[in-house]
Chains A and B, each alone.
Chain A
């Protein structure tokens, strides 16, 4: 009897010892944790994010001469503020579920001892995972969840670099108002959105903003993203024939809509697709030829040769085997650079120092890969300089067309399609 109990305790102790021993060697590296959907329905996005992280760490650890001219951290040899400590990304899979997101966040904090976390793509998972980081007092940066309530919880360790849904809605509404002033018809607007978290939250913010700005949403269609057939909805659109259609979709449904609109042979004068699936490289590759002139939003536009986004875009293409940076991967990469910059300025892996450094973050637009006006956090941790570009699909490539100050190409309307 005593023997067995002893055995059990010894086995438990061994497990504990193993758990403690793992992070012990990590002295000359700084660990940054990332919890992304590497399996499940958003696996495609998560794996692009993973490549962005790996590329970012590689740039800081091994340098890139071209980038180093404008971007000090790209000189190579790790983080100068920490005597050249290298960055090690510890990437975990949240499996697209809040439970796995929370479990993995806990593991990265307590076992991998990460200095900071970048997490989690889906708003619901960000919500649950950040609660763990808050309790353990680990800086937590979110680079792409757009739900407004995330920064309203009074958290002290939470930072967010991305613009939120309200910013996108404002951009669309201002953009459409300008088109109206230029003499285009925007009297009837159809809002077609998938009915999980992403589509519902973004579309409700868009309806609110449009109502306030006097834009008339005449049709509001919710559908489930895993639909096997969208022909009825497209036929409905064809019958009502709105001037403007706004899609809020994931990749699979974006592909179906693009195919079906061509099948049914109907297109509106202005077709806007809110990021999401329409910005997935899988979509632009497969459907770009039948969605010429599609308008979307993105924080990313390659810009002039020699600029930070252009260089990183080229590197990313090499990394992925052809796919350039898009809205999500650019926001992820930006989030990573913000964290790396803060750790470097903190000169320490002490969480409180990193948090203070994050609070003091002040990045200028020309150093950013994302098209923000800068990065600067308010008291709630929201980046007040986050903004978005309106882009248009030209030969299966998104180019920036609005606002004028940031446009690289002229806007072409009406929507051409195929």
Chain B
């Protein structure tokens, strides 16, 4: 066994036994689950935002659909919330098609801005719907009725559920990355025009990536609802949620398999621990620290933390080469 293998194995073991290492501290145990949940959302975003290079800043739409589907299954049909998860995923795929067909034609920042607008649109509409609990939001089961409500006191069951979902998602992403679709997505990201001229049906593959990404973001939303038991328009469809998915993936390394996980591993503990240590002072020092860390990483590793391990440092590129707004974006 070489050193690289050893480190990988050690990491794997650490991930698998983490909840037992933190048995005595429910807060750290829960922190593990929160990291994994954030990693699921950011990894789902990564499929379309990272691999296909279509920077959606409105993915909260799908997160919210997932969370609301789960809570609606409980409130309106008296079912365990998790039953709503597959419905939410289906609905999200449908909504992704409806949003994606007009917006994926847009290039670069226009796509990002259109997704922000759609996200805000959905948020405002959801807060006017009484069926969805309006602005007050909806709560899941106050106390678990059966184990199927997935409402646990300990974070350990969540940890392993999230870990299984994340492993499946990353496995699937890895499979896609290796296959033809991964090749097409990278081609589209590098230059959509070139991809088209090679006969890649860019529009179709972007849409596939978008729909797949939507389905898993929705699943993250349903899982969130099971864990927290409450959803309202701001925590389901808020723009901050969309931005956080982007930031997490970009911080670790967008378009890389483990990028979003690395991002979540840094940002979630920083946010939680700085809030625990500094939040009680008031004055928002938590976010000053959080913001400063993001700025510093962006300043020194603009391509994300994983670029540290790449053979060719990105800093060799001249500062002005990306200054041309038309390059690689024109549709």
Q: Which of A78-86, A123-131, A339-347 contacts B (4 or more CB under 8 A)?
A: A123-131
Number of chain A residues close to chain B: CB under 8 A: 54
B93 to chain A, nearest CB (A): 26
Flag B97-140 by CB within 8 Å of A: 1 or 0 each: 00000000000000000000000000010011000001111010
Flag B269-289 by CB within 8 Å of A: 1 or 0 each: 000100110011111101100
Complex Cα spacing A95 to B235, Å: 12
Contact (Cβ within 8 A) A135 B153: yes
B223 to chain A, nearest CB (A): 13
Contact (Cβ within 8 A) A111 B25: yes
Report if A127-B153 is in contact (Cβ < 8 Å); known contacts: A38-B282, A38-B283. no
B244 to chain A, nearest CB (A): 11
Contact (Cβ within 8 A) B142 A154: yes
Judge whether A107 is part of the interface by a CB distance below 8 angstroms: yes
Q: Place the interface of chain B in its size category.
A: 35 or more
Report if A110-B230 is in contact (Cβ < 8 Å); known contacts: A5-B13, A8-B13, A91-B280. no
Contact (Cβ within 8 A) B272 A103: yes
Contact (Cβ within 8 A) B229 A195: no
Judge whether A293 is part of the interface by a CB distance below 8 angstroms: no
Contact (Cβ within 8 A) B30 A128: no
Q: Which of B16-24, B58-66, B258-266, B299-307 contacts A (4 or more CB under 8 A)?
A: B16-24
Complex Cα spacing A147 to B27, Å: 28
Residues of B within 8 A of A1 (CB): 1, 6, 9-10
Judge whether B26 is part of the interface by a CB distance below 8 angstroms: yes
Residues of B within 8 A of A4 (CB): 6-7, 10
Contact (Cβ within 8 A) A16 B28: yes
Residues of A within 8 A of B7 (CB): 4
- CB-CB nearest in chain A for B7: A4
Within 8 A of B (CB), among A125-173: 127-128, 131, 134-136, 147, 149, 153-155
Complex Cα spacing A1 to B224, Å: 36
Flag A88-111 by CB within 8 Å of B: 1 or 0 each: 001111010111101110110011
Contact (Cβ within 8 A) B14 A123: no
Contact (Cβ within 8 A) A110 B26: yes
Contact (Cβ within 8 A) A12 B228: no
Instruction: For B128, give its contact among A5, A8, A110, A195 (CB under 8 Å).
Output: A195
Complex Cα spacing A12 to B23, Å: 10
Complex Cα spacing A98 to B24, Å: 24
Judge whether B34 is part of the interface by a CB distance below 8 angstroms: yes
B289 to chain A, nearest CB (A): 12
- CB-CB nearest in chain B for A89: B280
Contact (Cβ within 8 A) B279 A93: yes
Complex Cα spacing A159 to B25, Å: 27
A295 to chain B, nearest CB (A): 25
Residues of chain B at the chain A interface (Cβ within 8 Å):
1, 6-7, 9-10, 13-14, 18, 21-28, 30, 34, 124, 127-128, 134-137, 139, 142-143, 153, 224, 228-230, 232-235, 272, 275-276, 279-284, 286-287
9 A-B pairs whose Cβ atoms sit less than 8 Å apart in the complex: A4-B10, A8-B13, A9-B21, A12-B18, A38-B281, A90-B280, A91-B280, A98-B232, A134-B143
Residues of chain A at the chain B interface (Cβ within 8 Å):
1, 4-5, 8-9, 12-13, 15-16, 19-20, 38-39, 43, 46-47, 50, 90-93, 95, 97-100, 102-104, 106-107, 110-111, 123-124, 127-128, 131, 134-136, 147, 149, 153-155, 195-197, 199-201, 222, 224
